[in-house]
Structure 1
Amino acid sequence: MLGAILISVSASIMLALGAVHLAYTFASRKLHPKEQDAAAKMQASSPVISGRTTMWNAWIGFNASHSFGAILFGLFYLYLAQAAPGLLRASLFLQLLGASALAAYAAVAQRYWFRTPLLGILLAFSLYLAGAIALAS
């Protein structure tokens, strides 16, 4: 029971981070560059891989898909912890998948992001590991 609760809280943190990031992507200017000329240059430039999009559209799309990934992680592991904790307990694959995903998010956050998402992800990772250990007991 404790393991499922800890993993549920971990998943809820990731769900919340993803939802806030999605809101920042589409309903705020928080992910826009402070320098207006940077945004204008992004809107006028295409990536090397394709001239059918702009760097600005790619930026918005990357942020949106990143949000969807965190939301999916949160929903998936929240569901497992609440509706199928026995499956999560019995599946080393699912346990390692969740831990690996959070470790990857933490590594990217450490290298490329700022403090708030890093701390949230580290908290989610710590709770997830504690939950996985409690499930195994």
Structure 2
Amino acid sequence: MSAHLLILASAVIVFALGTLHLIYTFTTRKFHPHDPTLAQHMQQVAPRITRETSMWRAWIGFNASHSLGAMLFGLVFGELAMVHGAMLLGDPFLLSAGGLFLASLLVLARRYWFKIPLIGIALALVLYLTGASLALS
């Protein structure tokens, strides 16, 4: 498989994870706590930084912005891989930035998330690094 297709596959995985996360955030209760009183309490308590929001609204916003970041990575690196493959594969800065982003997500997934995103991000990182290695060799 060619380098740009490996990076494209990586971008598709991250985009899919971000899209699914966004859908889950706004259309399901998958990110709600099992204890309904915790959700109620989060809706009533503000974070120390401001009283203009609640912990619940911040939680929803963090989940949504997290999703959008993953989707943006998928769109940008997918576009670069499909349409501007020579530019992407010839630019060590872009290749490094994408790899560092995915490696950072992997650290977060390992430390704070659960098995499904960890596996997805690990697969995306392996595909990405394999594509980048082919491009740089």
Q: Which category of TM-score, normalised to the shorter sequence, fits these structures?
A: over 0.9
CA distance in 1, matches of 2:128, 2:62: 26
Amino acid aligned to 2:108:
V
Q: TM-score under structure 2 normalisation? A: 0.98
Q: Which residue of 2 aligns with 1:25?
A: 25
| Alpha-carbon distance in 1 for matches of 2:85, 2:136 | 11
The answer for the alignment partner of 1:78 in structure 2 is 78
Partner of 1:56: 56
TM-score normalised per structure 1? 0.98
Instruction: Give the deviation of 1:83 after TM superposition.
Output: 0.4
Alignment pair present for 1:98 and 2:118: no
1:41 alignment partner, SS class: helix
What percentage of residue pairs aligned between the two structures are identical?
49
Partner deviation per Cα, 1:21-73 (whole Å, 9 max, x = no partner): 00000010000111000000000000000001000000000000000000000
Aligned to 1:15: 15
CA RMSD of aligned residues (A): 0.8
Partner of 2:43: 43
Task: Name the residue aligned to 2:65.
Answer: 65
The Cα shift of 1:136 comes to 2.3
Counterpart contact for 2:90–2:135, Cα < 8 Å: no
- 1:90 is displaced (CA, Å) by 1.5
Tell whether 2:117 aligns with 1:117: yes
Q: Distance in 1 between matches of 2:29 and 2:84?
A: 39
Equivalent residue number for residue 133 of structure 2: 133
Alpha-carbon distance between aligned partners in 2 of 1:90 and 1:122, rounded to the nearest angstrom: 24
CA distance in 2, matches of 1:112, 1:83: 34
Distance 2:20 2:90 in 1: 32
Distance 1:89 1:5 in 2: 11
Given that residues 4 and 89 in structure 2 are in contact (C-alpha distance below 8 angstroms), is that contact kept between their aligned partners in structure 1?
no
